Amino acid sequence: MGNMFLECFVKFYDKMVVGDLHHTGGNYIYPFIFISNNHILYLNRKGVQAMTEATKKPQYTMIILKPDALVKSLTGNILARFLEARLKIIGAKVVKVSRELVEQHYAHLKDEPFFDDLYEYFSGKTYGPEYERVLVFVYKGADAISKVRRIAGATNPLEADPISIRGAYGRINKKGIMENVIHCSDSEESAKREIHLWFDPDEIIEEIYPTKKVIKSNCEVIEWA
C-alpha cells in the first residue's frame, strides 16, 4: 500500500494540489488523501485526466513516414507533432519497400486503377533511388489510434484540417495520388495486421502480441564480416 502511494505520488506529483477541507466544501470530486486533520492532497483536473489515461488498456498503432515526408525533410516536425499525444515509441525502423510489401500493406486498394501510381509514390520511385525508403514507428498508449489519426488529418490533404500534418504538408500529385506524408493505422485490427507485416517480434521492445519459438536450421543469415 505504502509503495503504491509513493508510485502514484511520484507519477502525479506535478498535478497534485494541497487543499483545505473548507475549500472543498466537503465534496470530494477528485481522488484525495488526507494528510492532516484539516488538509487533503488531491489531483487537479489534469491529474484526474492523466490517471484515467494511465489506467486505460494501451492501444498500439503504426505510423509510416512516407517518401514525400523524407523528400521534404519533415521527420523532425512530424515526430514533434506526435509528442502531444503522449505516446511511447516501442519500435522503429527504416525500410526499402518492395512491390510485394505495398500489395500486402494496401491490399484493400490492390484492384484500384491507381494502384501502380500509388506503388510508385509509396515506394519512393517517384523521387529517385535516394528516397526509396520509409520510416516506420510503432506507438503505444491510451487511445493511440484516434489520437494519431486526429493529428494526421483526413486522407485527402485538400480536405484535411490545414493544421493537421496531412493538411499542412500534403498535396495531390500530377497523377492524382494523394501524397499525404504519413500512414497511420485506422483500427486495432489494422494496427495488429500492419505490425505483423512490417515488424518481427524482436524488433518491438515489448511483447505486444503472442509469439512462438521456432527452431530454424540450414537457413542463411547475413552477419557483420
Please say whether the beta carbons of 157 and 180 come within 8 A: yes
- CA separation for the pair 179, 2 (Å, rounded): 53
177 binds ligand UDP (CB under 6 A): yes
Given 22, 105, 183, 196, the catalytic residue = 183
- Residue 124 DSSP symbol: T
Pick the binder of ligand UDP from 43, 180, 195, 198 (CB under 6 A).
Answer: 180
In three-state secondary structure terms, 207 is coil
Per CB under 6 A, contacts with ligand UDP among 109-128 are 109, 114, 118
**Which CB atom, from 106 or from 131, has the smaller least distance to ligand UDP?**
106
Q: How far is CA 123 from CA 30, 89, 98, 103, in A?
A: 51, 23, 7, 11
Minimal distance in Å, beta carbon 88 to ligand UDP? 22
In the structure grid, which three cell numbers stand for residue 106, read together?
494496401
**Amino acid residing at 64:** I
Q: Which is nearer to ligand UDP, 19 or 67 (CB)?
A: 67
186 binds ligand UDP (CB under 6 A): yes
| Interface map 134-163 toward ligand UDP (x if CB under 6 A) | ---------------------x--------
**Binding track, positions 179-218, relative to Mg ion; x by CB under 5 A:** -------x--------------------------------
CB 154 within 8 A of CB 160: yes
- Distance from C-alpha of 158 to C-alpha of 191, rounded to nearest angstrom: 25
Reference 138, options 90, 100, 105; nearest CA is: 90
The residue range among 9-17, 23-31, 75-83, 175-183 that interacts with ligand UDP, by the rule CB under 6 A, is: 175-183
Residues forming the site for Mg ion (CB under 5 A): 186
